[in-house]
Amino acid sequence: MKLLFDFLPVLLFFITFKFYADFVDKDSQLGFIPGGTEGAIYAATLVAIIASAAQVLLFWLKHRRFEKMHLITLGLITVLGGATLLFQDETFIKWKPTAVNWMFAVAFLGSQFIGSKPLVQRMMEANIELDEPRVWTRLNVAWVVFFTLMGIVNIYVAYNYSTEFWVNFKLFGLLGLTLLFVIGQAFFLAKHIVAEDEDVDDTASDNTVDRKQDTL
């Protein structure tokens, strides 16, 4: 459910873009948004801004706190989406996924030098334990590279393909690449995770050694 909630603005953006022309024909206009396929990207952008604002509000009402990811998304979609609507130029909204990915790349890279632990370690160490501390650093760098490449790929698609293709890529392509990376990360971590059974065995061995020492 949380994944769907986090993904809701993107999903509503996609749905609005796909079906806007079916409800508002090209000879009509919805406020300042043109009708037909020409206005689909602008209607989708407006819906995404509203959905992101609602997402932040609903999360706060339920948990009485804000989630950084939601705030970052809201800030960027408001600025870039607002510019898209104001200047009637879809270029701004097409930069939004790149801006998000590069912002995370900078955050993960900065955590290599600021603070005692890489950002990925702070996020995951409560759930898993790795056999070597340096593995966290390697994983953190991998996320930096991944976010950087995702931003580059998004811009390449935005400038070399149609808006409709970019919208499809934004939903399916970026999500698919992220899932592939996460699966690859899981295989990588599987080689370095310290199993709970091993911890129990190590504790039992230590206790045995202690008892033998006491006997001596």
d(CA 158, CA 92): 11
Write down the mean pLDDT value for the chain.
87
- In DSSP notation, the chain reads -HHHHHHHHHHHHHHHHHHHHHHS-TT-EETTEESHHHHHHHHHHHHHHHHHHHHHHHHHHHHSS--HHHHHHHHHHHHHHHHHHHHT-THHHHTHHHHHHHHHHHHHHHTTTSSSS-HHHHHHTTT--BS-THHHHHHHHHHHHHHHHHHHHHHHHHHHS-HHHHHHIIIIIHHHHHHHHHHHHHHHHHTTB--HHHHHHHHHHHHHHHHHHHH-
Angle at 69 between CA 67 and CA 73, to 5 degrees: 120
Give pLDDT tens digits for 50-65: 999 999 999 999 999 9
1: pLDDT strictly greater than 70: no
Q: What proportion of the chain, given as a percentage, has pLDDT over 70?
A: 89
- How distant, in Å, are the alpha carbons of 16, 74, 96, 112, 213 from that of 42? 10, 17, 14, 39, 75
Contact 48, 81 (CB under 8 A): yes
The β-bridge partners of 193 are: 130
Does pLDDT of 207 surpass 60?
A: no
Predicted confidence band of residue 204 (pLDDT cuts 50, 70, 90):
very low
pLDDT of residue 216: 41
Q: What is the Cα–Cα distance from 11 to 18, expressed in whole angstroms?
A: 11
> Tens digits of per-residue pLDDT, 50-106?
999 999 999 999 999 998 889 999 999 999 999 999 999 999 999 999 999 999 999
